[in-house]
Amino acid sequence: MPLRYEAGEVITAMVTPFNSKREIDYNKTESLAKYLASNGSDAILVAGTTGEGPTLTFDEELEITSTVKRAVAGHTKIIMNAGSNCTETAVRTAKNAEKEEVDAILSVVPYYNKPSQEGMYEHFAAVAKATNLPIIIYNIPSRTGVNILPKTVAKLANEFSNIVAIKQSCPDMDSITELKLECPEDFSIYSGDDSLTLPMMSLGARGVISVASHLYGKEIKSMIRNYKTGEYYAAVNMHKKLYPVFKSLFLVPNPIPVKAALERKGLIDGYLRLPLKELDDSKKAELFSILDQFDAD
C-alpha cells in the first residue's frame, strides 16, 4: 500500500549554524543543507530541537526555511518545525509553514503543560484542521513530560488524512507494535533516536529522523537499505559499528556534541545559544576519540 506521505528513510534534524555573535550564519546554513542533501538525507527538518528551535525567533525560523529551500530545491524535501505547547501558536505556525510551501511540518506533543490524552487529541486536531500540509507528530516524553498513547495517535490518524506519521523518541518497543496495530497501514513511524532505528524497523518503522546523519548519513542509509533488502547481517553489523557514535552524540544534551563534531569537520562554527553551552575539552576528547575509531575501522 502506498504511504500516506513519502518523506524518505533518512530525515536529518538539521542544526542551526551560528557565528561568534550567536547570530544565524546563513551562508553556512546553505552549505550545510547542500552537504546533507549529498550525503544520505532524503529530507531536512528545519528549526527543530536539534536546530535550537526554542531559541529562534519566528522570523528566523522562516528565513532559515527559505535558505534551506533555496539550497536544496528539487533534491531534498523540507520539513519545518511547527510545534508549541500553545495550540494557538502551533496553529498559526502551521499556517505560515503552508505559505512557505514546505513539504511537511513536525509538531511536538505539547510540553510543560502536561495535557491529558483528550487535550493532546484536541491540540493536534486543531493543527490538522488549520493546514493541508502533512503533519508528523513528535512524541518525546523525556522533554515534554507527557506521552501520547498509540490509541490517541490512531484516533488522530484515522480522522485526519494529513496526520501522516509519528516521530517516536522513546525506547518503548511495545508502543511501536501498538502503533502498527492501531494506526492505518499507510501511516508511517520514524525512530527519533538513532540507536533505536534498527530495532524499530524490525517492528515496521519507516526510517529515522536523525542527528547522526549529519556525520554518517550514507552509512545510516546503507543500514536501512540492507535491512529492507534482507541483508540483515550487514544491517546489524552497521548498527553495531554506529552504536558508539549514536551514544556519543548524546554525552550531553543534543545538539551540543554534534555541533562540536561538525565544527571539527569544518562545516560550521560550533557556537550555541544560551542556555546551551559548548562542549568542554574533556567531553570533546571523548567524543572525538569515538568518532576517530569509527572512521579508522
Bond preceding residue 134 cis, omega within 30 of 0: no
Nearest to 99 by CA among 62, 67, 127: 62
Contacts of 205 (CB under 8 A, 6+ apart): 168, 176, 188, 189, 190, 191, 197
| DSSP category for residue 24 | B
Q: For the chain, list the domains and their CATH numbers.
A: 10-229 (3.20.20.70)
Return the number of other C-beta atoms located less than 10 Å from residue 114's C-beta.
11
Among residues 155, 167, 259, 284, the one annotated as catalytic is 167
Say whether pLDDT at 291 is over 90. Answer: yes
3-state secondary structure of 10: strand
167 given a catalytic annotation:
yes
Say whether pLDDT at 297 is over 90. Answer: no
Contact 101, 133 (CB under 8 A): no
Rg (CA), the chain: 18
DSSP E strands: which ranges in the chain?
Answer: 10-13, 43-46, 77-81, 104-108, 135-139, 163-168, 188-191, 207-210
How is residue 259 written as a grid cell?
Answer: 555541533
Which residue stretches of 249-277 are H helix?
256-264
Please report, for the chain, how many H helices and E strands are present, in that order. Answer: 12, 8
CA distance 182 to 36: 34
Q: What is the mean pLDDT of residues 210-222?
A: 98
How is residue 96 written as a grid cell?
Answer: 505560515
The per-residue pLDDT for range 13-56, each reduced to its tens digit, is: 999 999 999 999 999 999 999 999 999 999 999 999 999 999 99
Among residues 121, 138, 190, 216, the one annotated as catalytic is 138
What is the pLDDT confidence band of residue 73, given thresholds at 50, 70 and 90? confident
pTM of the predicted structure, to 2 decimals: 0.95
Contacts of 210 (CB under 8 A, 6+ apart): 10, 11, 12, 13, 194, 197, 217, 220
138 given a catalytic annotation:
yes
In the block, residue with C-alpha cell 506521552? 147
pLDDT of res. 240:
97
